[in-house]
Amino acid sequence: MLAELKNVTRYYQQEGVTTRNLIIDQVSLGIEENESLAVIGPSGSGKSTLLNILGSLDKPSSGKVVLDGAEVDLLDEKELAAIRNRFIGFVFQQHHLLPQLTLIENVLLPVLPVKDKAKQREATDRAHNLIERVGLKTLVHRRPAHLSVGECQRAAVVRALVNQPRLLLADEPTGSLDSEHAMQLAQLLGELNREQNLAVVVVTHSMEVASYMGKIYRITSEKLQLTEKR
Ligand SMILES: Nc1ncnc2c1ncn2[C@@H]1O[C@H](COP(=O)(O)OP(=O)(O)O)[C@@H](O)[C@H]1O
Ligand SMILES: [Mg+2]
């Protein structure tokens, strides 16, 4: 199992207030290697909360998170950061490309801290291959202001993959795209899942986007339920 949530509950509690705001309740989820899955649910249903806990960006109120066989709770910040960096790629609704850098410079940012020269070369080669794969080859020297939102989002996907993570976590990755480009990106994520030895988790409120993933889960009343694919 690549990643696992075991009976994960997350609530928010305001200081001085006794009632808790329960967001997700006793959720368990296993993600196998090479699996692709979507988590759907309306705005405010806890999708980002779930994804952030899975990516160890947030901690559950109770329950366990296991990443790459390691129980997240038992790791210190440094060990956790190392797992996050080598094991997980993140894509968000906003691409977060740096405006002063070109597409290729943005994509290669995660390669800069890599000290081993051979590994750096490898990551750079991988970046160029992925750029070609997602159809951005002729645009590598452009800055984000001269790229479309869809092109920026594809660049953000490449940036998330240059250090060869095993798990890609995408939070509303198509949220800034029109429906045609949203479908293209969803399809791309499905293809990368199949081609790159990569598990993909996409959080979305769009059933259409979700349909490109192998499994679809829905958050309903703080619980996660597997949905039949139509
Ligand atoms: N830091 C926080 N403090 C209190 N409540 C929060 C916090 N973050 C999220 N929430 C609440 O948790 C619920 C789920 O949020 P979220 O996971 O962002 O939902 P979604 O991504 O499905 O739109 C919302 O009601 C939101 O207001
Ligand atoms: Mg969200």
- pLDDT tens readout for residues 4-38: 999 999 999 988 888 999 999 999 999 999 999 99
pLDDT value for 209: 95
The reply to whether 155 falls in a domain is yes
- Edge-to-edge strands, sheet with 3-12: 21-31, 3-12, 62-67, 70-71
Ligand 1 centre and the CA of 48: distance in Å? 7
The reply to whether 17 falls in a domain is no
d(CA 152, CA 101) in angstroms, rounded, equals 12
The distance from CA 16 to its chain's CA centroid, rounded to whole angstroms, is 35
The reply to whether 223 falls in a domain is yes
Q: Is the CB of residue 41 below 6 angstroms from any atom belonging to ligand 1? A: yes
64-118 confidence digits (pLDDT tens): 999 999 999 999 999 999 999 889 999 999 999 999 999 999 999 999 888 899 9
What CATH number is associated with residue 153? 3.40.50.300
Q: Whose CA is nearest to atom 7 of ligand 1?
A: 12
pLDDT value for 154: 96
Q: Whose CA is nearest to atom 16 of ligand 1?
A: 46
40 pLDDT above the threshold of 80: yes
pLDDT value for 180: 93
The reply to whether 113 falls in a domain is yes
178-192 confidence digits (pLDDT tens): 999 999 999 999 999
Q: Is the CB of residue 144 below 6 angstroms from any atom belonging to ligand 1? A: no
Q: Is the CB of residue 48 below 6 angstroms from any atom belonging to ligand 1? A: yes
Q: Is the CB of residue 56 below 6 angstroms from any atom belonging to ligand 1? A: no
Q: Whose CA is nearest to atom 20 of ligand 1?
A: 44
Per the model's pLDDT, the better-predicted residue between 99 and 197 turns out to be 99
Per the model's pLDDT, the better-predicted residue between 229 and 202 turns out to be 202
R_g (Cα) of the chain, nearest Å = 18
In ligand 1, which atom is closest to the CA atom of 51?
17
CA-based nearest residue to 8, from 220, 16, 23, 17: 23
The distance from CA 147 to its chain's CA centroid, rounded to whole angstroms, is 22
**What's the total number of domains in the chain?**
1
The reply to whether 24 falls in a domain is no
The reply to whether 182 falls in a domain is yes
pLDDT value for 230: 58
pLDDT value for 113: 85
Asked if 65 and 142 touch (Cβ cutoff 8 Å), the reply is: no
Mean pLDDT of 143-157: 97
Looking up tokens 């410079």 gives 105
- Give kind and range of the element (H or E) at residue 67: strand 62-67
The reply to whether 22 falls in a domain is no
d(CA 134, CA 150) in angstroms, rounded, equals 11
Asked if 188 and 157 touch (Cβ cutoff 8 Å), the reply is: yes
User: Among 8, 49, 204, which residue has the most ligand 1 atoms within 8 Å of its CB, making it the best to mutate?
Assistant: 49
d(CA 46, CA 223) in angstroms, rounded, equals 10
Asked if 142 and 148 touch (Cβ cutoff 8 Å), the reply is: no
Mean pLDDT of 194-209: 95
The full 3-state SS of 164-230, as one line of letters, equals CCCEEEEECCCCCCCHHHHHHHHHHHHHHHHHCCCEEEEEECCHHHHCCCCEEEEEECCEEEEECCC
Q: Is the CB of residue 55 below 6 angstroms from any atom belonging to ligand 1? A: no
What phi, psi does 94 have (nearest 5°)? -90, 140
Residue 228: pLDDT band with limits 50, 70, 90: confident
Ligand 1 centre and the CA of 168: distance in Å? 21
The reply to whether 14 falls in a domain is no
111-146 confidence digits (pLDDT tens): 988 889 999 999 999 999 999 999 999 999 999 999
- Residue 164: domain span: 32-59+86-227
CA-based nearest residue to 173, from 153, 191, 158, 192: 153
